Structure 1
Amino acid sequence: MIIPGLVDTHCFFMGKYFQDYGEDFSGYGQEDLLLDFVNRGDRKLVLGRNVSEEAFRALSEKSLPNRYPIVLFHSSFDEMLVNEKAEIKYAVNSGPVTMEGCVRLIEEALKDEEAFLSAYENHTGKLLAKGVTSVKEVAFDQGFGYLEALEKYRMVKGIPVRTAVVSQPVAKIWDISWAVDMKKRYAYEDFRFHGFNTMLDGSMSQEEAHLKKNYSGRDYTVRTVPDYEKAYDLVKAADENDLAVSLHAQGGMAVAEGVRILSGMKKDKCGKLKNRHSMTDLEMGEDEEFRKMAELDIHAEIYPQIQSIYDDWRGKINQVKGHVGEEYRRIWNRASMVSEGVSISCATDLPLLFPDLPESIYYACGGFVGESVEPFVEKNVMDRVSLINAWTQGGIVSLYGREERLGKIREGYGADLAVYDRNLLEEPLNTIRDAKVLLTISRGKTSYKRFK
């Protein structure tokens, strides 16, 4: 089966690079690590990953040497241990890992441009092997040299995967004038600055997704109420300067507030938004909001593979039902998005997920959670044609607009193609995940072949 090249509209390669950066401490015991730290001659940052469960727990009961900054990540990358010097220099603490909390460490890792570009080349090769020819990348703050490094790579080797970049302010405030300059500077056909990315609410598992009704057994709809008026002001400033913004919203109230915010932006004579604003995740979104999104031409960025991450699928389903009761029937309602006419694209939140169309079909069209034996809220699943359109043309429309001659197999359109080893519209769900990309063509050139 031949389809247009895939588009991932929310990637965070900066985070993936950071996850893999530093020293690999696989196989080290706690005594090996302590001896290593004591015997080091230099006083540079030690950024260590893949620390075993046993070593991590043992070290957490001790004080790490403090002659230089030490940061250790559990093999799961869910937890970290740091010493006092690291706390002071990089504003980090021992405990759960968040990318936002590691922003200064990420900035440090980005200084190693050679390692970054080597990882980037390897990463884009993997994307092309999955049929991905375009992405939207998130960069924290002003990128810590990310944009400049990719421009340098582009001048020497060319950009392997068409890339649009958005800034997610973390340690700094939104800098509109800087973003305007970046949009002018990075306006290549294959490498553009797009705008901003920001979070409205958080996850349901932590009761930080802003619901329309109270959490079960609680007297609140969210633990921390988002500052929607502040978000409106930020988006308005970006919109006035023709910068696109993506708003992350999971709970039903956050989705409604996101639509309200974007409805106040500049419109054309048909009442559609002038700038290509989007909303990401939309986990508990409802028909009414999807209808308004279609009317305003707010683009949806969904995570069609998100159900794949739950090893304990029964636990996940019970967790959802435990948090929202009968409202669980609203979760992941992609069918409503399609019926209401929303412009849909697909995203992965990489490194959380890696783009995979066959896997997307299994979960977003099959409705399974992990390896569940039956679908969860089957009425909410997408049809396969709509999902494939979202992975291809939908992503192009979101990032480049309907006038861009990409995302379709048609004369006069850019030759971005992915060839699969079977018909993805007809392959049974129980074998769809076995489907493989045979050939990827990016901008008219063969960029991946499964069989040489």
Structure 2
Amino acid sequence: MKSSRSAACIVVLVLTVAVSQTLLAQSEPADLVLVGGDVVTLAADPGQAEAVAVRDGRIVAVGEPAEIEALTGPETEVIDLDGRMLLPGFIEGHGHFLGLGEALMTLDLQDTRSFAEVVSRVEQAVADAEPGEWITGRGWHQENWNETGEDVVDGVPTHHELSAVSPDNPVLLTHASGHAALANEMALGLAGIAERTPNPEGGEIVRDGEGQPTGFLRQAAQQPVRERMRIWYQGLGQIARQQRFQRQVDLAAEQALSHGVTSFHDMGQRFDDIDRLLAMDEEGALPLRLYVAVIGETNTDLDRRLPDYLRPPADGRMLAVRSVKRHLDGALGTHGAWLLRPYADRPDHSGLPQMSLADLRETAAIAYQHGFQLNTHAIGDRANREALSVYESIQRLAGDEALRWRIEHAQTLHPDDVPRFAELDVIASMQGIHATSDGPWVPQRLGEERAEREAYVWRSLLDSGATICNGTDVPVEPISPIASLHASITREMANGERFFPEQSMERVEALKSYTIHCAFAAFEEERLGTIEVGKLADLVVLDRNLLEVSEDELAEARVDLTLVGGEVRYRRENSE
């Protein structure tokens, strides 16, 4: 009896303390109040309010202006939303953080409309470079060019015009997909790529009619050139390398925040760069949240070193590490995606697998053993099927444990494999902008019937119960959630046509794919992804309500404010 009375007293005491703390929290002034707008919480469907209060980096109240006014003190910062839209901060579900910074430091070739433009930009860069200095660029796509010149193999110009303007500088220009590159004569020579050089496993050295390398390197064939570039980079010295790394981080963060991105799923980094990011996090120098996957390490090194790098999302950290990234195939645009049937425009070719299934199974076992999520790049329908089967074997071992493993891109899915995502609790990490960017040439690669049935089937996945985490794959595409949301909702291509619009998302579905679903994909749904009391105040203010404006106006929406942990990290000029 005495024991029972003691237990009852303890319960009453705990409840009394909890109620007292709640009342205290409600009475203390907030650090920040945002009031007078369309607050779309996404906690419900979609969930509406007009004001939010923030204290110590967390949301402490969501409701009507009169409720929030009680938390406004003399030191409280008040932001008048003036009818604008307030959303949870956008989560970039698949991008390359340092790659974005690097892209901003090299030649941007995304807007080129001819090979002559590419050559001209390289020529200008050579004029400002020292002999021997590497010239790099990214973003070109042969399908976007109106003119390629006369010396063309497999739809891509040979290196000769490029080499003529860069005789003393090695040049490497990465394809928009990231899965191929064009090298000049000097870069090929440094890498030892010549007439008799064999194709590496998982790669192709494209050759002309006489067997000479054209400079176009598919998939793994890029690696010897990139290794020579890495050696040159190492020769710059530790101070120069650290300064370059810091510049990459600063530029990438600035771009991300200006587009309303408060969290970034980075796919991924090697251990040495993760070490640099960890050091920055310890110094409080990361301005947005990073969820980083380990990439490029051998299975042996993963098994040995992963336990030292397990870093789940937690308060006081901006950097989380708890996933491993693997590439099972390449890109559709470069004929690298691994297909069940050959390409429509290359009947003798079904893609370029980038690793053996045995290696992927070993990686999966290592990731599971050490408590890491596995994120597998799979674009072709064959690659997706094989990845799902590997995941299924591990899920059987895990039983009821929710692994939340991911397939990155999932661009081409056989209808039989669509329901497997929901059945296996596999997250489809897809990029809305890819469908409208790739749409004009996808039927050329797959054929009309297969493109309609299998390509970028968001509606089919959602209807089957799967979770989609959206993104841009930056720097493959610009880091614009607005552009990717517009693509997800409309499937409208640059030519005004719509790419199989029956696979579109509804607006709330699209917003959730950029917020709470990506938070779920990173095990952060308790902290991020919706506007609710107790969650981190990662927020974005837009100049219009994406749920109400026309589709054309949606595409023109602008980010006015980006807040991370209740602090304004980006403010658009003349936005208030």
Contact 1:396/1:406, CA 8 A, preserved across alignment: yes
Contact 1:18/1:109, CA 8 A, preserved across alignment: no
By how many angstroms is 1:227 displaced? 2.5
Is structure 2 residue 404 aligned with structure 1 residue 276?
Answer: yes
- Structure 1's unaligned 5+ residue stretches are none
**How many positions carry a matched residue from both structures?**
430
Is structure 2 residue 411 aligned with structure 1 residue 411?
Answer: no
The answer for the alignment partner of 2:514 in structure 1 is: 391
The answer for the alignment partner of 1:47 in structure 2 is: 134
Aligned residue among 362, 378, 385 for 2:486: 362
Aligned residue among 420, 424, 427 for 1:296: 424
Which structure 2 residues correspond to residues 337-348 of structure 1 after superposition, within 5 A?
337-348=461-472
Aligned residue among 71, 86, 90 for 1:2: 86
Amino acid at match of 1:304: G
By how many angstroms is 1:128 displaced? 1.0
Percent identity over paired residues: 19
By how many angstroms is 1:217 displaced? 7.8
User: SS of the counterpart of 1:232?
Assistant: helix
> How far, CA to CA, are the matches of 2:537 and 2:134 in structure 1?
42
Aligned residue among 208, 211, 216 for 2:336: 208
The answer for the alignment partner of 1:96 in structure 2 is: 216
Amino acid at match of 1:16: L
Amino acid at match of 1:48: I
Q: Deviations over 1:198-236 (max 9, x none)?
A: 111223344432333444487777244563233122211
> How far, CA to CA, are the matches of 1:228 and 1:117 in structure 2?
37
By how many angstroms is 1:61 displaced? 5.0
Q: Deviations over 1:47-92 (max 9, x none)?
A: 12469999x7446259945xxxx42245988522235773269x99
Contact 2:412/2:456, CA 8 A, preserved across alignment: yes
Cα distance change of structure 1 residues 175 and 413 upon mapping to structure 2, 3 Å threshold: same
Question: TM-score, normalization: structure 1?
Answer: 0.82
- Structure 2's unaligned 5+ residue stretches are 1-84, 109-117, 141-147, 150-158, 194-199, 206-212
By how many angstroms is 1:343 displaced? 1.6
> How far, CA to CA, are the matches of 2:325 and 2:296 in structure 1?
8
> How far, CA to CA, are the matches of 2:538 and 2:360 in structure 1?
36
Contact 1:273/1:296, CA 8 A, preserved across alignment: no
Which of structures 1 and 2 has the bigger CA Rg?
Answer: 2
> How far, CA to CA, are the matches of 1:398 and 1:345 in structure 2?
7
Q: Deviations over 1:117-163 (max 9, x none)?
A: 12311221221111111112134543xx3222222322334321111
Aligned residue among 264, 280, 283 for 1:156: 283
> How far, CA to CA, are the matches of 2:125 and 2:274 in structure 1?
39
Question: TM-score, normalization: structure 2?
Answer: 0.65
Cα distance change of structure 1 residues 15 and 126 upon mapping to structure 2, 3 Å threshold: closer
The answer for the alignment partner of 1:427 in structure 2 is: 549
The answer for the alignment partner of 1:332 in structure 2 is: 456
Which structure 2 residues correspond to residues 440-451 of structure 1 after superposition, within 5 A?
440-451=562-573
Cα distance change of structure 1 residues 268 and 399 upon mapping to structure 2, 3 Å threshold: farther
Larger displacement relative to structure 2 (239-248 or 110-119): 110-119
Which structure 2 residues correspond to residues 43-82 of structure 1 after superposition, within 5 A?
46-49=133-136, 57-58=160-161, 60=163, 64-65=167-168, 70-73=169-172, 78-81=181-184, 82=186
Cα distance change of structure 1 residues 172 and 258 upon mapping to structure 2, 3 Å threshold: closer
Aligned residue among 267, 274, 296 for 1:169: 296
By how many angstroms is 1:296 displaced? 2.2
Larger displacement relative to structure 2 (129-138 or 72-81): 72-81
Cα distance change of structure 1 residues 233 and 6 upon mapping to structure 2, 3 Å threshold: same
Cα distance change of structure 1 residues 340 and 174 upon mapping to structure 2, 3 Å threshold: farther
By how many angstroms is 1:169 displaced? 1.5
Amino acid at match of 1:5: G
